Amino acid sequence: MENEKLVPTYDLSGKVAIVTGATRGIGYRIASAFAAAGATVVITSRKPADCEAVQKDFEGRGYACLGVPIDVSDFGALDGFVTDVAKKFGHVDILVNNAGIGGDEAPILDITPEMWDKTHNIDLKGLYFLSKAFAAQVKEQGTGGRIINMASAAGIIAPRYVSVYGAAKAAVIHLTKIMANEWARYNINVNSVAPGYIKTDMTKEVMADEKNASVVLKKISLRRFGEPDDVSGVVLFLATEASKYVTGVLIPVDGGMTIN
């Protein structure tokens, strides 16, 4: 029926999606959402045992999944990784750059070059060169694709003592716009998502401290911390045909924190 065309589809059947850092937290929920929507999901982690465990978990639920241990800061391996995925499944369609670390929270005067490189090699440089490898593959395929970059509310606001992480995530936000502009000709949509305080391993220390948690909650309009599924639903939208005319944008998923 004609009216059926008016209903956006969140179906990812036939799509192959790479989700980095997908063995726990937000990445795991994104991979789960993609798999439930019909995608074949390639999940990555630096730990082989974690990849194997998640692959078995997904396959036990009837999902198509491949776990690949890879470190996104191993820049020389990224081209081959994407090529191998495309060869195995015939194509690759979606990349979610979720792998990241929180970095060392310290005053700028205490930051060392080693601390800077540790965070930026994963949160920014790894994202950059994996996206480059993905875009080259999609260009060759001629199929179009989607890239969703994980930014952060820390890349929008300017809290003290998160200069290294905040700088990386601010760069991700701007880089997303540049990628979207350059790769639109290849029908690659590139967008970013900026989570606020989501219940993950990276935020558990803040949430466990009742005083700190109270201070943070006062800055969040919805007065609650986010769940990983609050983020995965937005990422799923950006990976599907429902968002086919959206590119180069940032969507904060922060309960209203960045408007305060």
Residues recognised as catalytic: 165
Q: What is the pLDDT of residues 119-138, one digit of tens each?
A: 999 999 999 999 999 999 99
pLDDT tens digits for range 75-88: 999 999 999 999 99
Question: What is the CATH code of the structural domain delimited by 8-252?
Answer: 3.40.50.720
Give the pLDDT score at 260. 84
Domain ranges of the chain: 8-252
Taking the model in full, what pTM does it have?
0.95
The percent of residues in the chain predicted with pLDDT above 90, rounded, is 88
Q: Where are the alpha helices (DSSP H) in 147-191?
A: 163-183
> Edge-to-edge, what's the strand order for the sheet holding 145-150?
65-69, 40-45, 16-19, 94-97, 145-150, 188-195, 250-253
- What is the identity of the amino acid at 195? P
Task: Give the mean pLDDT of 40-69.
Answer: 97
